Amino acid sequence: MTVSRRGFLGAGGLALAGASMISGRTQAASLPEAPTMTEATMQPPLYPKSGPDYQPVVTLNGWTLPWRQNGDWKEFHLVAEPVVRELAPGMKAHLWGYNGQSPGPTIEAVQGDKVRIFVTNKLPENTAVHWHGQLLPSGMDGVGGLTQPHIPPGKTFVYEFVLQKSGTFMYHPHSDEMVQMAMGMMGFFVVHPRDPAERRVDRDFVFLLNAFDIEAGSYVPKVNTMLDFNLWCWNSRVFPGIDPLVVRQGDKVRVRFGNLTMTNHPIHMHGYDFKVTGTDGGWVPEGAAWPEVSIDVAVGQMRAFEFVADAPGDWAIHCHKSHHTMNAMGHDVKTYIGVNMNKTAPAIKKIAPGYMPMGGAGMGEMGSMEMPLPDNTLPMMTGFAQFGPVEMGGMFSVVKVRPGLAADDYKDPGWYKHPEGTVAYEWTGEKLAEPARATSPDSGVKAAEFRAIDRRKRRVSSAKPGGHGNH
């Protein structure tokens, strides 16, 4: 775990009525360490060394922020700063984040804890941090200009509040929010129950849904994009760069996620039905938890679901919006399904050497073809598994359920070894009879024409598609 942990310095408590600025050498010397992370892979869970016991979460392609105890306070230090994030092998983005990464590190604590969070601004503009879903004093809510002064570049502010309830939360800016969130500034915040037995699971995974619009060959997201994003991410990663969710067979598993994109996402997991046990408003009472195989999460919402991992295998988990499981989509790409490109391809190659005609029979061939790409971008579909190209991208990963793993083993176990006779196979026996095909209903109306009445001229006119008849 490449986290800088040079030792926490001792500090005196700070009694603050609201988010306040730290200045002066004496106060600056009391700041807790601000660890940083350089790895893009999931780091081991951070088990508590004191206080109530809990099963710590693991963050897909992320890590948990260490803290120090200072009297009654748990102290954390976030640094808002420019970062470089690898979205998947072959593509990096210049983003803004916290402590070396986007999203920032997960904050974990326990219901009833008094937390003190130092936020140092190393961005070129003001910032502030909102603790999404937390119940706290208005002056700690983190809305720049409304509940506190903005944090200027180079300054450190302090947030102090008591964690009133357990559950699943987020943090993100409320200062130039459009730019800062579009640049990747966000993080997870998990509050565990005070009772170690309450809501206990064996493995607890967390990730945030976010999105970027990064043109091929560029590195910085287009922050003014409204809806046409081309990279749909979990924790600023896309398939095949998203960590698998590795699970021991028989474990009780929780998956938590929050949505900070510009649209909703129906998250679907194969192989299981699960119970929805948490929302951004808190835990769902056990008797009211409902079964699903897909759960939709709207913008700004959090969801948690649980299942018992009793079925071994490699089970897909993904957003069920089909365009959200692709990378670097070109929104203006023409559709060539059914078009024979054999005659036009040679002419195109004369002006675009290396051109490869694709799409006449669908886009699946992109998953297996190694085409030259512009600098710093990704194929629309990529990633291979044991049976060939997966033909996916974006918001897609795999839940890998295996028997016999150690309780703290999250290493990728490789591809599942299917028992004999349990894999779909090609039929090579007697040729099957051609099944009967029904004909499509036909109204008899020609698709090439429509008729409209111009009531002003009281005559009947005909028009063809491409013109504009009166209607």
pLDDT tens for 26-38 read: 455 589 999 999 8
How do residues 361-381 score in pLDDT, each as one tens digit?
A: 545 455 445 556 688 888 877
What whole-number percentage of the chain has pLDDT above 70? 82
pLDDT score, position 7: 35
pLDDT score, position 8: 35
**109: closest CA among 160, 158, 60, 67?**
67
pLDDT(267) > 50: yes
Q: What average pLDDT does this structure show over 458-464?
A: 51
pLDDT score, position 69: 95
**105: closest CA among 223, 4, 175, 11?**
4
**Among 3-12, 13-22, 53-62, 219-228, which is the least confidently predicted range?**
3-12
pLDDT(200) > 90: yes
pLDDT score, position 319: 96
* Contacts for 144 with CB less than 8 Å, ≥ 6 apart: 126, 127, 128, 150, 151, 173, 174, 175
How do residues 419-452 score in pLDDT, each as one tens digit?
A: 999 999 999 999 999 888 888 888 777 766 556 6
* Residue 21 to residue 14: CA distance in whole angstroms: 11
Q: Which is more confident, 460 or 428? A: 428
pLDDT score, position 354: 65
pLDDT score, position 436: 87
| Residue that has been written with the tokens 């001792």 in this structure | 10
pLDDT band at 336 (very low <50, low <70, confident <90, very high): low
How far is residue 355 from each of residues 336, 373, 424, measured CA to CA in Å?
15, 11, 35
pLDDT band at 404 (very low <50, low <70, confident <90, very high): very high
pLDDT band at 14 (very low <50, low <70, confident <90, very high): very low
pLDDT(3) > 90: no
**166: closest CA among 109, 107, 105?**
109
Q: Which is more confident, 263 or 451? A: 263
pLDDT(44) > 50: yes
Q: Which residues pair with 389 in a beta bridge?
A: 384
Contact call for residues 247 and 399 (beta carbons, < 8 A): yes
Q: State the SS3 of the chain.
A: CCECCCCCCCCCCCCCCCCEEECCHHHHCCCCCCCCECCCCCCCCCCCCCCCCCCCCEECCCCECCCEEECCEEEEEEEEEEEEEEEECCEEEEEEEECCECCCCEEEEECCCEEEEEEEECCCCCECCEEECCCCCHHHCCCECCCECCECCCCEEEEEEECCCCEEEEEECCCCHHHHHHCCCCEEEEEECCCCCCCCCCEEEEEEEEEECCCCCCCCCCCCCCCCCCEEEECCECECCCCCEEEECCCEEEEEEEECCCCCEEEEECCCCEEEEEECCEECCHHHCEEECEEEECCCCEEEEEEECCCCEEEEEEECCHHHHCECCCCCCCCCCCCCCCCHHHHHHHHCCCCCCCEECECHHHHCCCCCCCCCCCCCCEEEECCEEEEECECEEEEEEECCCCCCCCCCCCCCCCCCCCCCCCCCCCCCCCCCCCCCCCCCCCCCCEEEEECCCCEEEEECECECCCC
* Contacts for 65 with CB less than 8 Å, ≥ 6 apart: 35, 76, 77, 78, 99, 104, 105, 106, 107, 108
* Contacts for 75 with CB less than 8 Å, ≥ 6 apart: 11, 32, 67, 68, 69, 115, 116, 117, 118
pLDDT(16) > 50: no
How do residues 148-184 score in pLDDT, each as one tens digit?
A: 999 999 999 999 999 999 999 999 999 999 999 999 9
How do residues 57-105 score in pLDDT, each as one tens digit?
A: 999 999 999 999 999 999 999 999 999 999 999 899 999 999 999 999 9
pLDDT score, position 11: 31
pLDDT score, position 1: 44
pLDDT(15) > 50: no
How do residues 114-161 score in pLDDT, each as one tens digit?
A: 999 999 999 999 999 999 999 999 999 999 999 999 999 999 999 999
Q: Which residues pair with 258 in a beta bridge?
A: 208, 302
* Residue 57 to residue 69: CA distance in whole angstroms: 20
**63: closest CA among 187, 248, 200, 194?**
187
Q: What average pLDDT does this structure show over 314-339?
A: 79
Mean confidence (pLDDT) of the chain: 87
pLDDT score, position 453: 64
**Among 2-6, 131-135, 196-200, 211-215, which is the least confidently predicted range?**
2-6
